[in-house]
Structure 1
Amino acid sequence: MRNELKSLFEPESIAIIGCSPDKKKIGGRPLDYLLKYGFLGSIFPVNPNYEIIEDMQCYETIMHVPSEIDLAIIALPQKLVLHTFLACIKKNVKSVVIFSAGFSELGEDGKKDQEQITALAKKHHIRVLGPNCLGLFNSSKRMYATFSTILENEEPLPKGKIGFVSQSGAFGSHVFTLARQHHIGFSHFVATGNESDIDVADCIEYLVHDDKTSVIACYLEGTKDGKKLINMFKLAAQKKKPIVLLKVGKSDVGMQAAMSHTGSMVGSDSVYDTIFKQYGVYRAETIDEFIDVANAFAQLPRMKGDRVAIFTVSGGVGIMLSDQVIENGLTLPETPKEVQRHLKSIIPIAGVKNPLDTTAQVSYMPTLLEDFMKAVLESGQYDAAIVFLGFSGLKPDSLATKLTSLMHMKQQFPDIPCVMVTLCNPEAKKLIHESGMVLNEDPTRAVKILSAVNELRKSKNHLEEMSADEGVRVPLDRINQFISYSSKKALTEFQSKQIVSHYKIPITVEQLALSPTEAVESANSIGYPVVLKGMSPQILHKTEKGLVQLNINSDQEVKDVFNHLKTIIQNEEEATFDGVLIQEMINDHSIEMYVGAKRDPIFGQMILVGLGGIFIEVFKDVSMRKAPVSPKVAKEMVEELKASQILKGFRGKTQYDVDSLCNLISQFSFVISMQEGVLEEVDLNPIMVFEGRKGVKVADALMKLS
């Protein structure tokens, strides 16, 4: 993919079709930017209305350009795009950026034209960015193939290590401008528009391999290919390139707006959230957080632990920062006693326990901040630091002294991330940025930055997913049992449990009876007491219809209950009677758990774990992952539940067999992942988890087929 997109991101030659000598027009801006910033390649203006533009020959059509073209920019009205794109194909252009709007975002006619472009691109192996896109730039190549006004400012563009991909050009321009005001630069900027061909996942893959990019920032509304996006998240994790992502469309209204904007499938936000966490993607909630965290990941070293030291000139701010550090999952260890004594010898009125309050004396004792920081950080008890300096950034003399101290500390403790907090004027911001320090004017945002860096440290590597050979091994004839029931939308409990039992998932002892006589024989074979359940694929919730009867203790009672259950089913309109399930009555002490699966239309099979019975709906205490998962990840899922304390033996109670539960979760996750296109939904509920090491049993199950 990197080689396929090289012509787009690193072109040696660019043709601008619809080029204009007017720098304010869409066809004029890319030419202006390429010349102004010194593009390292050849430029070919194309427009039949001009012979010369900016002292360069202007060609009538792309076919008249005498050289090979890596990248063609189409800046023409929608009605001319398809004909021009066909000419680019004939010219063997390697990649195309289509600025033009009027495609899938406007309705069916535009959608058909866009689909034709997609089909042609695939057929002729030409890569397309857009249509309806703002374009892209690559700062190291001085390549600016965009018509955005964000580059009209004459000031030099800050260089950076952040590769930025946005599905919205306007949003991307806004973020770029905010970042620029804080002297934060990007290695690349790309707006994907309607994504007829190249999408966010493609761009992530390119940036993962780009040596000028260390962090990838993404604005996402939705995706059409969840599997490809996950693979790119995995690749970024393998290459140790963090991804910071702002995903919109949480609410129903927001989802509808995102769908109409990009044409991407937006899907359930909870599933997106799960995917991001599972594959180590940091999800920002606001634009400020998005920019702050991307910059922090690019500039700060990785934290080795969660211990924070706070240095402040304000006792009140120190207290506020302390609260927020704890609220954000970080720790605030007290300063070692010997260090406290040393600091008191320097300035007796200082607060030295952590937060460390140097008081206003820091303005009169030039080395005070450095002395405090050195003594504390040398103790080896801290993994990160926040330095609050009030409004020092508004006073040049005061700032210079403190910045010198912070630079010394950065050199002496290069593995300890430090965030500087002070109010600043534009000159101070530039000075601090050039020093390499990470700055924020808001103490709360500074804490969030360190919390994000800590989350990056903690994010587990979930890439140890086992192959099918390491997971479930099932003969093909067993797998095909799914298909044999495909004439029915839902399977009965008996059918569902028979299927999962073939995958070495333990179920209750049970037999299906089609007559009262068979029911009695089954009950005697299993042993009293027993449970009787009426089976009908049209009745999914048996308890609500009175189709579950517990503690049946005699042959006559079995016959009577059998007939009663059969009558209930036969009286239900359009319900078919599939027999009565005779099941062992479980009296051993156990905890009821739920394990389920739901096929997401974008990301495929998701596995869910929670407290069982009716409590899954009451408490909504659920953990979710993309299937399949290993027993190790299954254990993480269980431990995420509030109910996990019960399983561990709350207040001296006996522990339950969590290991067997985790093995079942993992095994089940392989079952559903192997049947991606067959299973719509599966519930194993309840699963009886027994005490000690007595194992687990699935007591009820429901499968819905696609």
Structure 2
Amino acid sequence: MMNLDTKSLESLFDPQSIAIIGASERMNRIGSRPIQYLLDNGYKGNIYPINPKYDQIAGLTCYPDLYHAPEKIDLAILALPEGLVMTAIKQCAEKKVKSVIIFSSGFAETGSKGRELQDQILQIARKHDMRVLGPNCLGMFNNNNGVYATFSVSMSDGSPIKGRIGLVTQSGAFGSHVITSARERHIGFSCWVSTGNEMDIDVADCIAYLAGKDDIDVIACYLEGVKDGEKFLNALSLAKEHQKPVVLLKSGRSEVGKEAVQSHTASLVGSDEVFDVVFKQTGVYRVNTIEEFLNISYACTMVPLPKGNNVGVFSVSGGLGIMIADQLIEHSMKLPEPSQNIKEELLNILPFAGVRNPFDITAQIINQPTLLRDFMDVVFSSRLDVDIAIVFLSHLGLSNSIFNNQLEIIKEMKEKYPDLPCIVVTLTKPEIRKRFAEAGIFVCEDPTEAVKVVHALNYFRKKLSASLPMNQQWEQKQLDFSNSPQVLTEYKSKKYLKDYGIPCTKEGLATTLDEAILLAKEIGYPIVLKGMSSDILHKTDSGLVHLKLENKEDVELAYNAIMKKMAQMGVNAEGVLVQEWVNSNGLEVIVGSKYDVVFGQMIIVGLGGIFTEVFNDVSMRKAPISTTEAEKMLKELRSYRLFQGYRNQHSLDISALCELVSQFSHFVTDHKDVISEIDLNPVIVHPKGNGVVTVDALIKLNNSLVIHK
């Protein structure tokens, strides 16, 4: 795993002294807001406004330049026009400032000229071991020490509530919106950082830093793109290592969205499907709306992760209880049905209640205020296997008299059953939401959002409890691809695969008819002949494949036909491949790789042969993977039952296929810089115990990295 430098970020998140270069005495200006926010939030360090126009700002001594500041500066905030940034950066370097935040825009997001200036600033920063946040960013805040190094207008209406969410956003406006919305709902944050253009400090740096902080329970991230895929993956792995859930909202799904991202943050976007795979592989929970983003992040700070996926639903409405149950089932959750004894005990409490789970306690809760407690107590204390509860109270949260009673009941159940998470759904008023928060009880207003929260908590339970995958210890081999064309024929492709130990068919290349006849005899009939040319990708479509040849005469006819066909096509003929005929009642599978611009080599497994394009039944992972992960890929396929032996068919050699997939993933990883794409199609999976064999293969190389003499 790549070492991520989180120690150097201490001067950003916990500075002992802050200089604001471009400070203003007008407190509604960008250069004055950080000063006001620092004072309002009780920052204990030293604040140094820098501007030659003023002697004093907000009661603080203002200095003409950074050189006159009386001590070393941990953090400098640059609130300057783009044209003055370079001079300020040079002053920061000479003053040995540890971290810099650049609010200014006009850099890489504007084009090549801005990028060139941004690169020059980065060179200075790296030369002097200075970390830089931005440019083109809204800055950050740390609620634990009063560091408010931001000019976000949202803070002028009130500081964010203190909490245990760490927020990282590539968009400053997104962060401001989320923080403001959260404040209105009494959802708190530990800190927030807006990364902007990510000249130096990026999302990965911030995730890695927050992962190690004890005052943070969950990392919430808004992402548009990633510049360094490996670094990003390592940061996510670090979060998992520290048992920190990561809730992520990524934009840029559509082509229009991708283009907007490029102009916004100058990030690499990559394939959205690949991002999905990477998120699942690293345990990140991806959301699609701000509502989900806030609810799930907040729930991770309020609710312990459930021990399983069994849910108990308590509802004042039978219809809404059924709706919640339906949605839970759609999200792969379970609603265990109570025993007859439990049902009878509940009916003794309320004879007309629904007692099957979802439990319908009806509107009688208004006349019998203890109904919820009585039902929950019976269910929780019984042997019914409930791991998490949803309590739907409809609009009762708007009534102070009813709410007071039910809040006390829920608090009582929380204390009595501390390991049993409870999600409350009710319409609320701001003051009531605050009381829920102070009681440590998660509440939301939409039952569908509650189901999403339960699903997310269960997802984190599984992902965070799973050990980090251990890669198989295959022997690493660096094969020589120099002097190769960009597209390798099947014969040359399989030579490399065989050298790496991947099982392939018995075969040989013939350049004369006599060689073909001799090879056929050595391999044993029946055999297959294939015309080999790097100019032809689809041999069958071109009439260059002859199957199940039974004797010398068949070989002679097929060989001559292939050579004649290639001559007519005017292609560069490598020869004719003489290959064993694979007669099997197994299954054809495709195993492939594709180089992704952000994350590198991605591998796929799915139905192969003619079914690849028809059904598109594939699973994908970031390479390399273990045999255990390969088996998970197979189980994700809609066609997985075919591997298990469907309708009296033989079960297939899943173990051998998983070994091939894992070994293949290491092959592409070991040669990630030169291989662009590989298809093994088909790989024949024989019945259990009989192994697998690669029948056809195609390797495409990254031509810019292939060495030609």
Tell me the residue number matched to 1:143. Answer: 147
Shift of 1:2: 2.4
- 1:402-421 alignment runs, 5 A limit: 402-421=406-425
Tell me the residue number matched to 1:330. Answer: 333
- 1:42-441 alignment runs, 5 A limit: 42-154=46-158, 157-380=160-383, 381-441=385-445
Partner AA of 2:115 in structure 1:
K
1:545 is paired with a residue whose SS is coil
2-structure distance, mates of 1:190, 1:692: 53
Query: CA-to-partner distance for each residue in 1:521-564, whole Å, 9 max, x for gaps?
Result: 11111111111000001111111111111011221221221121
Match of 1:649 among 638, 645, 651: 645
2:602 is paired with a residue whose SS is strand
1-structure distance, mates of 2:467, 2:177: 34
1:544 is paired with a residue whose SS is coil
Q: Answer whether contact 1:465 1:628 (CA < 8 A) is retained.
A: no
Q: Answer whether contact 1:29 1:146 (CA < 8 A) is retained.
A: yes
Q: Answer whether contact 2:526 2:549 (CA < 8 A) is retained.
A: yes
1:393 is paired with a residue whose SS is helix
Tell me the residue number matched to 2:582. Answer: 586
Partner AA of 2:635 in structure 1:
E
2-structure distance, mates of 1:687, 1:3: 48
Shift of 1:214: 1.2
2:174 is paired with a residue whose SS is helix
Partner AA of 2:493 in structure 1:
S
2-structure distance, mates of 1:297, 1:2: 24
Q: Answer whether contact 1:165 1:218 (CA < 8 A) is retained.
A: yes
- 1:548-559 alignment runs, 5 A limit: 548-559=545-556
2-structure distance, mates of 1:443, 1:590: 47
2-structure distance, mates of 1:101, 1:295: 32
Query: CA-to-partner distance for each residue in 1:79-112, whole Å, 9 max, x for gaps?
Result: 0001111011001000000001111111221111
Q: Answer whether contact 2:476 2:670 (CA < 8 A) is retained.
A: no
Q: Answer whether contact 1:472 1:667 (CA < 8 A) is retained.
A: no
Tell me the residue number matched to 1:464. Answer: 469
Q: Answer whether contact 1:490 1:703 (CA < 8 A) is retained.
A: yes
Partner AA of 1:101 in structure 2:
S
Partner AA of 1:390 in structure 2:
S
> Number of residues paired by the alignment?
696
Tell me the residue number matched to 1:704. Answer: 700
Partner AA of 2:95 in structure 1:
K
Q: Which segment drifts farther, 550-559 or 415-424?
A: 550-559
1:202 is paired with a residue whose SS is helix
1-structure distance, mates of 2:333, 2:186: 28
2-structure distance, mates of 1:377, 1:448: 22
Shift of 1:651: 2.6
Q: Answer whether contact 1:422 1:441 (CA < 8 A) is retained.
A: yes
Q: Answer whether contact 2:306 2:420 (CA < 8 A) is retained.
A: yes
Shift of 1:459: 2.0
Report whether the alignment pairs 1:547 with 2:551. no
Shift of 1:692: 2.1
Q: Answer whether contact 1:278 1:462 (CA < 8 A) is retained.
A: no
Report whether the alignment pairs 1:597 with 2:593. yes
1-structure distance, mates of 2:649, 2:467: 32
Tell me the residue number matched to 2:455. Answer: 451
Q: Answer whether contact 1:21 1:54 (CA < 8 A) is retained.
A: yes
Partner AA of 2:497 in structure 1:
V
Match of 2:520 among 523, 527, 536: 523
Compute the RMSD of aligned alpha carbons: 1.1
Tell me the residue number matched to 1:483. Answer: 482
Tell me the residue number matched to 1:500. Answer: 497
1:97 is paired with a residue whose SS is strand
Q: TM-score, normalised by structure 1?
A: 0.97
Query: CA-to-partner distance for each residue in 1:146-179, whole Å, 9 max, x for gaps?
Result: 000111114x532111100000000111111111
Q: Answer whether contact 2:527 2:547 (CA < 8 A) is retained.
A: yes
Tell me the residue number matched to 2:674. Answer: 678
2-structure distance, mates of 1:493, 1:391: 67
1:157 is paired with a residue whose SS is coil
1:543 is paired with a residue whose SS is coil
User: Percentage identity across aligned positions?
Assistant: 49
Partner AA of 1:560 in structure 2:
L
Q: Answer whether contact 2:168 2:194 (CA < 8 A) is retained.
A: yes
Partner AA of 2:286 in structure 1:
R
1:463 is paired with a residue whose SS is coil
Partner AA of 1:465 in structure 2:
M
Q: Which segment drifts farther, 694-703 or 610-619?
A: 610-619
Query: CA-to-partner distance for each residue in 1:409-434, whole Å, 9 max, x for gaps?
Result: 11111111111011111121111111
Shift of 1:614: 2.2
1-structure distance, mates of 2:127, 2:568: 58
Partner AA of 1:621 in structure 2:
D
Tell me the residue number matched to 1:636. Answer: 632
Query: CA-to-partner distance for each residue in 1:398-455, whole Å, 9 max, x for gaps?
Result: 0000010000111111111111011111121111111111101001110110011011
Partner AA of 2:555 in structure 1:
V
Query: CA-to-partner distance for each residue in 1:35-63, whole Å, 9 max, x for gaps?
Result: 11111210000000001111211000011
2-structure distance, mates of 1:588, 1:428: 68
Q: Answer whether contact 2:160 2:179 (CA < 8 A) is retained.
A: no
Match of 1:621 among 612, 617, 624: 617
Shift of 1:484: 4.3
Q: Answer whether contact 1:462 1:633 (CA < 8 A) is retained.
A: no
